[in-house]
Structure 1
Amino acid sequence: MPTIAKNNEVVTVIFSFAVEPERQQELIEMMIDALETTTKHQSGFVSASFHKSLDGVRVFNYAQWRTLGEYEAFAQSPQDQAIGARLSQFQLLDSRIYEVVISKPDDATLKITKGDLIHFAEFRVKPENQQRLIELERENVVIALEHPNLLCANFHRSVDGARTANYGQWRSLDNFEALLKEPTYESVREYWKGLAENEFHLYKVVYTEPLE
C-alpha cells in the first residue's frame, strides 16, 4: 500500500480539483478509470491515492512516481493529455511536485489505506518565505500532535517554492474543532500568518493503488 515518510525515495505529485458536491463521485470514478486503464501501467508509476472532501467540494490525488524523469515523460505523453481532456470539465485547482520534509512523530510511516481520515492543508507562499514557513511548521507540529486523535503529520514542500502542504492522519475527526478553538492550540492556528495563505479541508481516502 502507499506510504508517506521523509525517507521515501519517490517523487510526490499532488493535484486537486474543485467540484460541485453532486458531481464529486462522478469525478472520482473518472479518475479511477483513467488510473486502471492507463496511468498504473506506465513506467515509473508507484502509487495513487484518491481523496474526497467531507464537504463534497474537493477531490485530490496523492501520487508517487519512481523518478522525476518518468513522471515528466508520462505527463507529456498523449495518454496523459487524453486523461487531461476528459477531466477538463472539472476545475483543476493545483498540480505540483513535492518532497516530504517533516514527518512526525519521528518514527511515523503513514500507510495510506481506504477509509483513512485526513486533514489536508495547503499553504500558498512566496519562494523566499518557504523555508521560514517550514521551520515554523516543524516547531508547531509538536503542539498539534498533543491532540489525542491526530496520529501523524507529514509536511511537504513544493519544488517550485510556492507551496507547503500538511497531510495529517486522524483516528477520528469528532474533536477536530478543538484545534480551531482551544487555547492550547492557539499558535498552531496562527503560525503562518504574514507568510502564507492557508486553505484546508477534511477528507476520506476512497481509493488506492496498490491496495497492499
Structure 2
Amino acid sequence: MANLSLDNSLTTVIIIFTVKPEQQLELIDAIKEFLETVKTQPGFVSANLHKSTDGVKVANYAQWKNIETFEAFRSNQDIQTKAAKLFEFDTPDSHVYEIVTSESKVGTPEIKTGEYVVHFAEFSMQPENQPKMVELAKEHIKPAMEQPGLLSATFHRSLDGTRVINYGQWENQQAIEELVKKPGFSKAAPYWEGIADNEYHLYEVVHTVHS
C-alpha cells in the first residue's frame, strides 16, 4: 500500500483529470488498462486511482522510486503511445510533488480502497506565492485536525511552484461539511484568500496497483 511519508523517500506524482460524469468510468477503465504497462516499468512503486463522488474528477496518486525513473518513463515514447486512449479526454493537471507537512490521528497515512472518504484540495497559484501558501498550510493544519472525523491531512507542494494539494482522509462527508463552516476554512475569507485559488472534491479510492 502507498504510505504518505514526510521523509519524501519516494517521488510523488499527482495527476487529476476533469471529465464529464458520463465519461468517468470509461476514463478509469482506460487508466487501469494503461497501468498494466506502467507497473512493469523500472522505478514504479504504486498508483492509486480515486474517483470523485460528483463524477467530474479522476485522480491518480502515484509514487516512483525517484525523479529519474519517472522522467525516463515519461520520455519513453513507446510506453506513452500505449496511453493514447487517455489523450481522448481533457488534458490532466499533472505535477511532481513533495510532502511539506502532515498530521494524522491514524499513524502514517496509507492509501487503501474502501477505507475513507478522501478529499483533494487543489490550490493553484503563481510560483512566487507558493512559499506563503505552504506557510499558511503549516499554520492551519493543526486547527483543522481538531475537527472530529478528520483522520489525516497531508499537504504537498509541486516542484514547479504552481500547486499545493492537501490530501485528506475523513470518516464521513458530514465531518467535511462541518469544517468548511468554520472561520478561515469557509468560502467567506478563507485562509488562502489572495494567495491561491482553490477547489476541492470528495473521492473514493477505487483501484490500487503496486510494483
TM-score band (shorter)?
Answer: over 0.9
The farther-off stretch of 75-84 and 186-195 is 75-84
Secondary structure class of the residue paired with 1:186: coil
How many residue pairs get matched? 207
Where 1:101 maps in the other structure, the secondary structure is strand
Partner of 2:183: 186
- The alignment's C-alpha RMSD in Å is 1.6
Q: Percent identity?
A: 46
1:113-146 deviation line (CA, Å, top 9, x unaligned): 0123101111111111111111111111111111
Match of 1:20 in 2: 20
Q: Distance in 2 between matches of 1:103 and 1:16?
A: 21
1:125 and 2:125 matched:
yes
Does the aligned pair in 2 maintain the 1:17–1:59 contact within 8 Å?
yes
Aligned pairs for 1:58-137 (under 5 A) are 58-105=57-104, 108-115=107-114, 116-137=116-137
Q: 4+ runs of 1 displaced by more than 4 Å?
A: none
Quick check: 2:12–2:61 contact (8 Å CA) kept in 1?
A: yes
Q: TM-score scaled to structure 2, two decimals?
A: 0.93
Distance 1:91 1:101, change over 3 A: same
Q: How many angstroms apart in 1 are the aligned matches of 2:8 and 2:125?
A: 24
3-state SS, counterpart of residue 206 of structure 2: strand
TM-score by length of structure 1 reads 0.93
* Structure 1: stretches of 5+ with no match in the other structure: none
The farther-off stretch of 53-62 and 88-97 is 88-97
Q: Give the Å deviation of 1:175.
A: 3.0
Structure 2: 5+ residue runs without aligned partners? none
1:98–1:158 CA contact under 8 A, matched in 2: yes
Per-residue Cα deviation, 1:57-101 (whole angstroms, up to 9, x for no partner): 000100000011110000011233214421111112311000001
User: Amino acid of the residue matched to residue 86 of structure 1?
Assistant: K
